[in-house]
Amino acid sequence: MKAKNNSSKTGKAVLVLEDGSTFSGHGFGAPKKVSGEIVFSTSMVGYPESLTDPSYKGQILTFTYPLIGNYGVPSYELENGVPRYFESESIKARGLVIHELCKNPFHWASTKTLDEWLKDEDVPGIYGIDTRKLTKKLRVKGVMLGILQVCEEEEEPNLEKLLKEVKTIQDPNATNLVKEVTIKEPVRYEVGANKVAVIIDCGIKHGILRTLLQQGMNVIRVPYDFSAEEILEYKPDGVIISNGPGNPKQCTKTIESVRELVEEDIPIMGICLGTQILALALGGDTYKLKYGHRSQNQSVIDLETKRCYITTQNHGYVTNRDSLKGTGLEVWFMNANDKTVEGVKHKNKPTFAFQWHPEASPGPYDTKFLFDKFLKLAGA
């Protein structure tokens, strides 16, 4: 992980939203100012995994659970070349918003406090605000752009200036966030298996890598803009389109590659953003949700068996159900709360995708069988 060794002491902090709302509190982590999309997660555990999830790139993350930092931050150790406890090599959220900060964590795996970790990673945080009020506002009005400023000790935030500035900040979803989190060159992960999965890295969580390696597949991780021809040169037994941040329509090269790969009849599995990219590749459409699905307790229903599963989710965009007509895709899973599309599969090809993380990291393992389905299609 990065080590900034930021020794500056933090003081007051303020969160300013584009609608003019302000939330004043105490700063922790790095004393700095950041802007981004303010989102909330109802997860009760898993802040190390959430903060390092590349799908939070461009966003300022709010936890609704009031006590954060209680079990500290674990060490950065590797398993099969992949971090054991983190979902990427660094914090990807631009800032953190919580109600109460635990300054004296207790856990056998803890090596530092949440405050120390954010300082090391040069990420600002605010605590002591009414996160319930903030969350209710985001649920009513939808996610909003905002600015988080953590001041140095004895410094005062300039609210008047921040309220003007928040009107002009750029929406991160208007940029190609996937380009910022994808790898630059292919990476191989070997476990001595005789089957190979190629992962199109749109901002992959390392939990996906860990699961595939544990289940006996070698993995080749390629940049999001690799062509279908470049991917097929690796002779993969299956292809995975990973999760990632932002608007899926920004991933034009990935969409083009997936369109060609589907025609090759190679087994394909999409996860989160991968679902939206698959739909777009085959002529479907996507749209932005009002406040997204970000939690470890999202209920999804298998429309074939009527069975309900509890899943870990982190996405702000979703596939348009009506747009799937003529694409060859059919709806497989549906969200039990808002009835949005949670999973699709192709009627004639070994291709399927879903809007959640079966590897959890953190969360329930209800749907790990989807990895088994992929491995079976890949002949593993």
What does the pLDDT read at residue 8? Answer: 72
Cα Rg of the chain (Å, integer): 21
Do 87 and 187 share a structural domain? no
Do 186 and 169 share a structural domain? no
User: Over the stretch 321-336, which tens digit does the pLDDT of each residue have?
Assistant: 999 999 999 999 999 9
CA 185 to chain CA centroid, Å, is: 21
User: Does residue 3 register a pLDDT over 80?
Assistant: no
CB atoms within 10 A of CB 260: 14
User: Over the stretch 240-262, which tens digit does the pLDDT of each residue have?
Assistant: 999 999 999 999 999 999 999 99
Do 190 and 324 share a structural domain? yes
338 contact partners, CB below 8 Å, separation of at least 6 = none
Q: Which two tokens stand for residue 110?
A: 């803890």
In the chain, the number of structural domains is 2
Contact 245, 181 (CB under 8 A): yes
Q: Catalytic amino acids?
A: 272, 357, 359
Q: Is residue 323 part of a domain?
A: yes
C-alpha 61/C-alpha 50 separation (Å) is 9
Domain with 100 in it: 10-174
Do 140 and 93 share a structural domain? yes
User: Does residue 6 register a pLDDT over 60?
Assistant: no
Do 307 and 189 share a structural domain? yes
* Structure confidence at residue 2 as a pLDDT band (50, 70, 90): low
Do 211 and 243 share a structural domain? yes
What does the pLDDT read at residue 5? Answer: 46
Please tell me which residue, 7 or 3, carries the higher pLDDT value.
7
Do 373 and 228 share a structural domain? yes
Look at residues 147, 174, 201 and tell me which one is the last residue of a structural domain. 174
User: Over the stretch 48-100, which tens digit does the pLDDT of each residue have?
Assistant: 999 999 999 999 999 999 999 999 999 999 988 899 999 999 999 999 999 99
C-alpha 345/C-alpha 209 separation (Å) is 22
CA-closest candidate to residue 45, choices 94, 116, 102: 102
Do 197 and 146 share a structural domain? no
Do 184 and 146 share a structural domain? no
Q: How large is the average pLDDT for residues 280-293? A: 98
Look at residues 146, 174, 202 and tell me which one is the last residue of a structural domain. 174
C-alpha 329/C-alpha 350 separation (Å) is 11
Query: CATH number of the domain that 114 lies in?
Result: 3.50.30.20
Q: Is residue 76 part of a domain?
A: yes
Look at residues 174, 196, 219 and tell me which one is the last residue of a structural domain. 174
Provide, rounded to the nearest whole percent, the portion of the chain with pLDDT above 70.
98
Q: Is residue 5 part of a domain?
A: no
State the pairing for strand pair 238-241/196-201: parallel
What does the pLDDT read at residue 239? Answer: 98
C-alpha 58/C-alpha 36 separation (Å) is 5
Cα atoms found within 13 Å of the Cα of residue 343, Cβ hemisphere only: 26
CB atoms within 10 A of CB 200: 28
Do 181 and 169 share a structural domain? no
C-alpha 253/C-alpha 250 separation (Å) is 9
C-alpha torsion sign, points 233, 234, 240, 243: negative
The mean pLDDT value of the chain amounts to 96
Contact 69, 89 (CB under 8 A): no
Do 186 and 167 share a structural domain? no
Do 127 and 185 share a structural domain? no
Q: How large is the average pLDDT for residues 348-371? A: 97
User: Over the stretch 112-150, which tens digit does the pLDDT of each residue have?
Assistant: 999 999 999 999 999 999 999 999 999 999 999 999 999
User: Over the stretch 17-54, which tens digit does the pLDDT of each residue have?
Assistant: 999 999 999 999 999 999 999 999 999 999 999 999 99
C-alpha torsion sign, points 206, 212, 213, 217: negative
Would you call the peptide bond into 54 cis, given omega within 30 degrees of 0 as the criterion? no
Q: Which two tokens stand for residue 31?
A: 């004393």
User: Does residue 350 register a pLDDT over 50?
Assistant: yes
228 contact partners, CB below 8 Å, separation of at least 6 = 256, 257, 258, 260, 261, 264
The three-class DSSP label of residue 208 is helix
Q: How large is the average pLDDT for residues 186-206? A: 97
